[in-house]
Structure 1
Amino acid sequence: MIELTKVQLQSSLNKLLEHERGLTTVLEMTLNSLMYSERKNYLENCELNKGNGYRKAFAVGMGKQIELRIPRDRLGMFQPMVLALIRDQKQQLEDLSFELYGNGLTTSQIGSLMGKIYGKYYSKSAISNITATFYEQMQQWRERPLDSNYLAVYIDAIHLKIRRETVSSEAFYILLGVKEDYTREVLGIINIPCESASGWSDVLKSIKQRGVEKIGIIISDNLTALDTVIPLVFKNSAHQKCVVHLKRNILNKVASKHKTEIATDLEEVFNLNLMNDTVTKAFDRLDSFAQKWRKNYKHIGNLPFNPMNELYFTYTNYHPQIRRMIYTTNWIERLNKEFKRTFKIRNSMPNFEAALTLLSKVAMDKEEGYFGYPIYNFKFDEKLNKLV
């Protein structure tokens, strides 16, 4: 056996490194030698076991594919530590890719960044293969079992540009629930291209199939047909329509000279601090408001003639301590702002599955953050707590 001096060995390595795959070859030789030595030491301490050849495998090292000869033993008990290190590197790569994707980067941008970190550009397809696991994890999260009871569920929409045959804006509806321990979680993220009674029925039935039995109150915008579907799926659930959206819609259609006065009147109509308030009393205030402005604005004058507008006053049935939390969907709009911030750096999503995956990642991050802190105001309302 020829023994090389340190200088001779260094010279041989330098010549090898001059070749295009030189560094990769050295890495392969080093890892394979380490595994061979590791098995040798292992067998020396295990007299009943023997070597059993090698198996070929491929891995990524320093941004390039490397070929490994993994030594085996007859009893199948030997596991080289080198493989664990390689798996750790792969897991780190996947975790980093997930995190970057979850922050809105495209597969091309992730591939370029990986090149700067690991020394080799990763193609779109390579990153897509990695993020495929991410897709599966997010789908499992969206289909996870849910609690049986929720004090409140907020429903609101975010509109995103989705590429199908052409790029168009589509609605994704977010369902945010308040649990019995007063923390929050996202129950569902659903893509409904066109609102309908059947669409909302499918949404509510889907969370019911995942375990939800009772919801104290559902808070939403004035969504098409939702008010007729809720009693059919969750018959004991109250429904509160978003007052903030109603005010906004009213004020958007009035002259500038009247806006301040009308806004003040609306504050009185939707007074949240009246201890003995009822839906009937509140609707009477709405009627008086409509009579005052009927001559100027038809859309205000017509408000009392729609009996479903009573759903804007459901909050009056609850303790004043929680009215401000249930008369609007603003709680979920904070989450929607996080969604918009993430999607801001992307012109459009390649498909609705990609959008769902990215929305799911942002929602999961929020659950691990401030959604995990209890909102104790809900404990003041005995009616809501008893219902669930």
Structure 2
Amino acid sequence: MTTQFDFQEAVKALQAGKNLNGKDGVLTGLIKKLSEAALQAELEQHLANEQQPNRKNGSSTKTVKSSVGNFELDTPRDRSGSFEPQLVKKNQTSLTDEIDQKILSMFSMGMSYRDINKHIEDMYGMNVATGMISAVTDKLIPELKAWQQRPLDSHYPIVWLDAIHYKVKEDGRYISKVVYTLLGLDIHGKKEILGLHLSENEGANYWLSVLTDLNNRGVKDILIACIDGLTGFPEAIKTIFPETEIQLCIVHQIRNSMKYVASKNQKAFMADLKPVYRAPTKEAAELALDELDAKWGSSYPLVINSWRNKWHNLSAYFKYPEHIRKVIYTTNAVEAVHRQFRKLTKTKGAFPNENSLLKLLYAGILNATEKWTMPIHNWSLCLSQLAIYFEGRLDSVLDI
């Protein structure tokens, strides 16, 4: 018969420094005793309801994982074999899914399989094989696939689009892969990752397929798309969303410009460039650009021509008030997501396959979205002004 749990002995053990959880933890013994007592009660109830003669027939032992530790559970048996325990079923080896949730939580923070194993051993007193950790994290894959195909809202006032590169093993060698990230601001002003796509290289053609996917999943209109200066990107967007206004990232443009300015001139050039992108109006910005051209055009014609050729999409933000400008003049919002991705993947170097990369990024997205519970600052004002600038395009989704 199962012995009683001795609370006085448990208190003494704690006072002596024994762990509460873990392989030899005090609570582990309590959970073992309670589980075995409950199983015995189940068997006795079963025998009392049996129509045919039956009786107890000893017990069998199996290792069970619990939230407090690993222990050997004695499961009672009956002579006829008709007893089906409910607390811990015949093939069940875990009392709860808490360990799986702990593994997924640590995985989503970018911890390596080795570190996860060490923490699980410290917490629960059990050694978790790499294969088990991989099997647990693989549970994210079907969830990821469903998330990638989920229906989306019909209208998004603002969407930021950007890409990030990783090394992934394919056909025995590591090659560079591109993860396309789409971050949307919904009608309530809350951030939402709309999609996560993987391709071998970044280009307008693949962005076209990504945008087609958005359209197929229900997106009918995007007011403003904030993007980097990838050639052909604006045209790809216009193909699917012809009314969308394009805002090229000012920060990307500045970085790319400074690559072609001699280091001895960079400080002076930046001082003359600031009046262009910080101007109060588009007209003032164009006058500053003319002055920049007059002073530096002969030395850096490539840079000046780049600003002029892209000016239509670089200058879109000037028409809006300051609080809207701050949101759209750069792709910082989606780059912040990529910074979180880099934190997760910085210890990985490269990935053995595409799924191993995508499931980690998806785990990171789940963590990030938990914090996106509130609309961005001044969203009510921004939305009312966007409804005026884009007259009629939000009427079907605004409750007015």
When normalised by structure 2's length, the TM-score is 0.76
Deviations 1:239-287 (A, max 9, x none): 111001111121232223322222122221112533xx36xx6445434
Correspondence for 1:256: 263
Correspondence for 1:345: 347
Pair 1:272–1:5, CA change in 2 (3 A): closer
Correspondence for 2:298: 295
Pair 1:176–1:59, CA change in 2 (3 A): farther
Correspondence for 1:225: 232
Pair 1:40–1:350, CA change in 2 (3 A): same
When normalised by structure 1's length, the TM-score is 0.78
Tell me if structure 1 keeps the 8 A contact 2:103–2:137.
yes
Deviation at 1:29, TM superposition (A): 10
Counterparts of 1:174-189 in structure 2, within 5 Å, are 174-189=181-196
CA distance in 2, matches of 1:53, 1:223: 75
Deviation at 1:375, TM superposition (A): 1.2
CA distance in 1, matches of 2:38, 2:344: 44
Tell me if structure 2 keeps the 8 A contact 1:104–1:343.
yes
CA distance in 2, matches of 1:125, 1:303: 52
CA distance in 2, matches of 1:373, 1:104: 25
Pair 1:233–1:49, CA change in 2 (3 A): farther
Pair 1:167–1:5, CA change in 2 (3 A): closer
Deviation at 1:51, TM superposition (A): 8.2
CA distance in 1, matches of 2:306, 2:234: 17
Deviation at 1:53, TM superposition (A): 11
Pair 1:49–1:273, CA change in 2 (3 A): farther
Correspondence for 2:378: 377
Correspondence for 1:363: 365
Correspondence for 1:336: 338
> How large is the Cα RMSD of the aligned pairs?
3.9
Q: Secondary structure at the match of 1:199?
A: helix
> Out of 318, 321, 329, which is 1:319 matched to?
321
Tell me if structure 2 keeps the 8 A contact 1:52–1:74.
no
Deviation at 1:147, TM superposition (A): 1.5
CA distance in 2, matches of 1:133, 1:52: 41
CA distance in 2, matches of 1:240, 1:359: 27
CA distance in 2, matches of 1:338, 1:327: 21
Counterparts of 1:131-280 in structure 2, within 5 Å, are 131-164=137-170, 165-271=172-278, 273-274=280-281, 277=282
Correspondence for 1:38: 42
Of the structure 1 ranges 112-121 and 248-257, higher mean CA displacement relative to structure 2 is found in 112-121
Correspondence for 2:22: none
CA distance in 2, matches of 1:68, 1:47: 19
Aligned residues: 357
Q: Secondary structure at the match of 2:177?
A: strand
Pair 1:224–1:36, CA change in 2 (3 A): farther
Deviation at 1:87, TM superposition (A): 7.7
> Out of 68, 81, 98, which is 2:104 matched to?
98
Of the structure 1 ranges 234-243 and 57-66, higher mean CA displacement relative to structure 2 is found in 57-66
Identity of aligned residues (%): 26
Deviations 1:157-193 (A, max 9, x none): 2222322232344321211111111111111112222
Pair 1:271–1:51, CA change in 2 (3 A): farther
**What is the letter of the counterpart of residue 351 of structure 2?**
M
Correspondence for 2:12: none
Pair 1:301–1:214, CA change in 2 (3 A): closer
Deviations 1:222-248 (A, max 9, x none): 124211111111111111110011111
CA distance in 2, matches of 1:146, 1:4: 56
CA distance in 2, matches of 1:60, 1:74: 21
Deviation at 1:151, TM superposition (A): 1.0
Deviation at 1:339, TM superposition (A): 1.4
Tell me if structure 1 keeps the 8 A contact 2:47–2:55.
no
CA distance in 2, matches of 1:174, 1:256: 33
Deviation at 1:124, TM superposition (A): 1.7
Deviation at 1:290, TM superposition (A): 2.4
Unaligned runs of 5+ in 2: 5-30, 395-400
Of the structure 1 ranges 347-356 and 31-40, higher mean CA displacement relative to structure 2 is found in 31-40
Deviation at 1:219, TM superposition (A): 0.3
Tell me if structure 1 keeps the 8 A contact 2:163–2:178.
yes
Tell me if structure 2 keeps the 8 A contact 1:241–1:312.
yes
CA distance in 1, matches of 2:50, 2:76: 23
Deviation at 1:132, TM superposition (A): 1.6
Pair 1:75–1:241, CA change in 2 (3 A): farther
**What is the letter of the counterpart of residue 330 of structure 1?**
N
CA distance in 2, matches of 1:143, 1:5: 54
Q: Secondary structure at the match of 1:325?
A: helix
